[in-house]
C-alpha cells in the first residue's frame, strides 16, 4: 500500500476521483483532504511473505464488504480535527 499526500492523491482511486472536501462524520463541519492510501495500482507492489501473491486489505479478513484492491481518502475536519474517510475498490 502506498500513500499520496494532499490533492495529488485525489486521482489515486479505483472509481471516480475523490472530492477535495467532505462532511465530517462527527460534527458535520468541512473536512479537507489529508492523504490517500492506495493499493494495487503500481507494478512494483510486492508480495507479502510468506504468501506468493500480492496481499491486499481485502485479504486480511473474511468479509463481504471489501472484495478487491481499495483506495482510502482520509480527511481532517476544519472544526474538530477528527478524521473522516471515504473509500472505493477496484
Per residue in 66-80, pLDDT (tens digit) is: 888 899 999 999 999
Mean pLDDT of 47-67: 78
Check residue 54 and give its pLDDT. 74
List Cβ neighbours of 80 (8 Å cut-off, separation of 6 or more): 24, 26, 27, 29
Which pLDDT belongs to residue 23? Answer: 98
Share of the chain above pLDDT 90, in %: 64
Domains and CATH numbers, the chain: 2-89 (2.30.30)
Amino acid at each position: 500500500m502506498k500513500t499520496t499526500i494532499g490533492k495529488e492523491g485525489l486521482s489515486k482511486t479505483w472509481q471516480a476521483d475523490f472530492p477535495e472536501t467532505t462532511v465530517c462524520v462527527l460534527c458535520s463541519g468541512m473536512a479537507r483532504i489529508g492523504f490517500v492510501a492506495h493499493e494495487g495500482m503500481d507494478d512494483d507492489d510486492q508480495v507479502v511473505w510468506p504468501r506468493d501473491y500480492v496481499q491486499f486489505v481485502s485479504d486480511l479478513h473474511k468479509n463481504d464488504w471489501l472484495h478487491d484492491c481499495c483506495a482510502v481518502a482520509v480527511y481532517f475536519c476544519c472544526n474538530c480535527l477528527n478524521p473522516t474517510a471515504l473509500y472505493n475498490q477496484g
